[in-house]
Amino acid sequence: MTENGLVPSVDKVLKDINDQADNVLAGIQSDADVAIASTGWFVAGDFTTEFTFTASNQVGKDTSGEFWSYNGALPFTVAAGTVPSAPNYTQLS
């Protein structure tokens, strides 16, 4: 029940849960980016959207959350939807 004694609507409860989940996921993403940066790598983008590698210490993130560096000449623009693999990319471990 709310402060005024009314039961909140299911839609409002679901929206609140979704908003909280979005905030948690954004925090996790931010923590991951900070962790990657602390090792000397910087996230240039993700492979679901177009982005450009401009420096050798940049990585891109794939759909499973793995990070990949590019092994070729820079700058290099990655097309949206690219699936990174060797030999053009190296997966960070």
Q: Could you count the other beta carbons within 10 Å of the beta carbon of residue 48?
A: 13
pLDDT of residue 13: 75
Task: Say if residue 51 is exposed, middle or buried (CB neighbours under 10 Å; 0-12, 13-18, 19+).
Answer: buried
Question: The whole model's pTM is what?
Answer: 0.64
Structure tokens at 86: 């060797």
Separation between Cα atoms, residue 14 and residue 58, nearest integer Å: 38
Could you tell me if 49 and 80 are in contact, meaning their C-beta atoms sit under 8 angstroms apart? yes
Structure confidence by residue, pLDDT tens digits, 7-33: 668 777 778 777 777 666 666 666 666
- Domain spans of the chain? 1-38, 41-93
Model pLDDT for residues 56-69, shown as the tens digit of each residue: 999 999 999 899 99
3-state secondary structure of 72: coil
